[in-house]
Amino acid sequence: MSDLFDIPEIHYRKPTAELAIEAPEMKLYTSLAKNESAAAFAKQLSLLEVELKDDGAFSKTAVLPFTLPFNADEFEAEPGDVILTDEKTIAVCYDKKTVKAARIGQKVYKTKDDILEIFGKGDVSVRIYLEWSE
Separation between Cα atoms, residue 103 and residue 91, nearest integer Å: 10
Tens-place pLDDT, residues 64-90: 999 999 999 999 999 999 999 999 999
Helical (H) or strand (E) element with 39? helix 36-44
Binned at pLDDT 50, 70 and 90, residue 62 comes out as very high
**What is the pTM (predicted TM-score) of this model?**
0.85
CB 100 within 8 A of CB 86: no
Which of 15, 45, 23 shows the shortest CA–CA distance to 105? 45
Share of the chain above pLDDT 70, in %: 93
- Residue 4's pLDDT is 62
Q: What are phi and psi of 120, to 5 degrees?
A: 75, 180
Q: Cβ atoms within 10 A of the Cβ of 70, count? A: 16
Which of 71, 79, 85, 81 shows the shortest CA–CA distance to 39? 71
If phi > 0 it is left, if psi is from -120 to 50 it is alpha, else beta; for residue 126 that is beta
Considering just the CA atoms, what is the radius of gyration of the chain in Å? 18
HEC-encoded secondary structure of 11-32: CCCCCEEEEEEECCCCEEEEEE
DSSP structural state of residue 87 = T
Separation between Cα atoms, residue 16 and residue 126, nearest integer Å: 22
